A and B are shown apart, each in its own frame.
Chain A
């Protein structure tokens, strides 16, 4: 996983709440095998009309937001299905940071596992960020994961929250499985004890 600590880029405002993963990545594209080639399906039904032509009003189809790397989303972003295609497509499009007042649990974990920063801010801060980003001249945001801050010429410096553990993993880019495999002896010890105490748990 590619590590991330500081990031600066265009932030696209998407002021919808309860955006679910079906909307982020429609299920009819779930069979696409290449996770690096999923950008065309991101927000597909919002981005394209029924003939496949870009919807001119959709934020990611407009300059400068078509090159956005930060997404400012409404509350409860990424709810619904556990599909990891949603963060894969966000990443393939170029997003490295998502800002919202609330992320769905599985989606947040999926983001961290793919090197995307899920930055949580209070609802009123999210509204300020949405407003600021909606002006193309003010759309450039900076993120510092070490200090957990968002910097913006007009908003100044505002804090965001993220678990220490998620932050550390994003900063180091360490492989999730490799880290746990270091604890394999603990897992084996646990299993031996559980097997004698509760044999019914094992097939």
Chain B
């Protein structure tokens, strides 16, 4: 019987089999951000350990970095934030690790910067102390998030001990309908499988819609695999992948490029490979989606109404819906498109790439942000920001009344000073609508960049198709 792509990647990285279905796997690429570096390096120092392979790690500052204007210098939320940025710079420089911190023009979100540098490649095993590391699976890499103890382990040993996961195939049949994006597809999948539906699995996304996706869209899709509880998400590499990577800083060049592409072309699941779990998504079921609740699986098409807990027979489901509605300040049966917002946030490792900003700008163009609504655009990296400015997107946003900010994680997780006030409601392109995610008591609705821009200009959750 054939092998899945995941099995091929697993087998190719086994240094040593251990008991209990575990193995020591070689780590080809390690991304480090300042939110974990402080702790991991202090752990190494306390035990007098060295970084084994500094050339296979890069450092990026993103989580605590302020996204307010840096024209007059960088400001921090507090001294702890400043110290974390200084720590990653100091430790990386001492260890010989390339670091893209706040003064580097490429600085941005680790999952945006890594791909821009060609650091994530097909066939590699890539880890980072951040759950959204699943993003890099878009390149046909085995990419997953790890804890801080594991970051320390990778720094000291260039390997990771893992237990083999089960495999899941999510096959999207047919092309996506008009107005639907990769974000809507992943919200559809999360609605279908639930936030624990992928636990213990690595997901491979297949099908016509996925094949037709750009790298940006594939990254959006893989990014939120963790929201289904999956260890990783991946898409087999193809010409789209190779075209994206060619010429990037850490990608192979010269004769090595041809050798690499020849190896990458073989990276796909065999036709007779068996997956432990199969999910089929008819693409015509995908529509512009928004979340109404407090986890990303609590999502529905924008044309629907807020669910009524009374209509559910399962006690725990009824309770979780009722709790979510109470936190979100919503009424059962209310139309999603009547929900008014205070703030729109366009950015994050899910949707802070150039295509995302183009999609939002297309809606913002010639319109104005609604009264009593604020709207932020936070580019995912310095390169995204520069590219958007070359294309005049910043001007379109400025004329429409959106605030154009510096790169960083920003209001995706509100640990950098960017946050809302209790009770405020946000239309957000990020990946988590958990309680308190964008500030204590803040109510977050997840959606695509075009949908968030539409919400910004109407002041309520809006069906993008109404604005066409």
A interface residues, Cβ below 8 angstroms from B = 16-18, 20, 22-23, 26-28, 30-33, 35, 45, 50, 74-76, 79-84, 87, 102, 104-106, 109-110, 113-114, 163-165, 175-177, 180-181, 183-184, 186-187, 190-191, 194, 198-203
Contacts and interface: CB of A to CB of B under 8 A. Distances in A.
A104 B436 CA distance: 20
Contacts of B56: 202-203
A75 B129 CA distance: 24
Q: How large is the interface on B (under 10, 10 to 19, 20 to 34, 35 or more residues)?
A: 35 or more
A27 B414 contact: yes
Interface of B: 15-16, 18-20, 22, 24, 26, 28, 35, 38-39, 47, 49, 55-56, 63-64, 77-78, 80-81, 83-84, 121, 123-124, 129-131, 145-150, 152-153, 156-159, 161, 163, 165, 195-196, 199-200, 226-227, 229, 231, 250, 252, 256-257, 259-260, 263, 295, 316, 320, 323, 413-415, 419, 422, 432, 434-437, 439-441
B33 to A, nearest CB: 11
Contact of A114 (B149, B157, B199): B149
Contact of A80 (B131, B153, B259): B131
13 contacts: A17-B320, A23-B435, A31-B64, A45-B436, A50-B440, A87-B147, A104-B199, A105-B229, A165-B20, A177-B156, A186-B15, A201-B121, A203-B250
Contacts of A181: 156-157
B436 A26 contact: yes
Nearest to B196: A76
A115 B22 CA distance: 19
B131 A106 contact: yes
Given A50-B440, A79-B196, A180-B153, A198 B434 contact: no
Contact of B200 (A16, A105, A186): A105
Nearest to B131: A82
A203 B196 CA distance: 36
A30 B149 contact: no
B440 A163 contact: no
Contact of A163 (B16, B20, B437): B20
A47 to B, nearest CB: 13
Contacts of B16: 183, 186, 190
Nearest to A29: B415
A165 B18 contact: yes
Contacts of A35: 39
B63 A30 contact: yes
Contact of A109 (B150, B227, B250): B150
A166 to B, nearest CB: 8
Nearest to B15: A190
A83 B148 CA distance: 7
Nearest to B27: A187
Contact of B26 (A16, A187, A200): A187
A105 B231 contact: yes
Contacts of B229: 76, 79, 104-105
A129 B432 CA distance: 30
Contacts of B124: 201
Given A30-B35, A180-B24, A180-B159, A105 B78 contact: no
B146 A106 contact: yes
Nearest to A112: B149
B142 to A, nearest CB: 12
Given A79-B229, A183-B16, A183-B24, A22 B153 contact: no
Given A30-B35, A50-B440, A102 B145 contact: no
A165 B19 contact: yes
Contact of B147 (A84, A102, A165, A191): A84
Contact of A84 (B15, B49, B149, B157): B149
A201 B432 contact: no
B239 to A, nearest CB: 17
Contacts of B415: 27-28, 30-31
B163 A163 contact: yes
A18 B195 contact: yes
A23 B316 CA distance: 18
Contacts of B441: 50
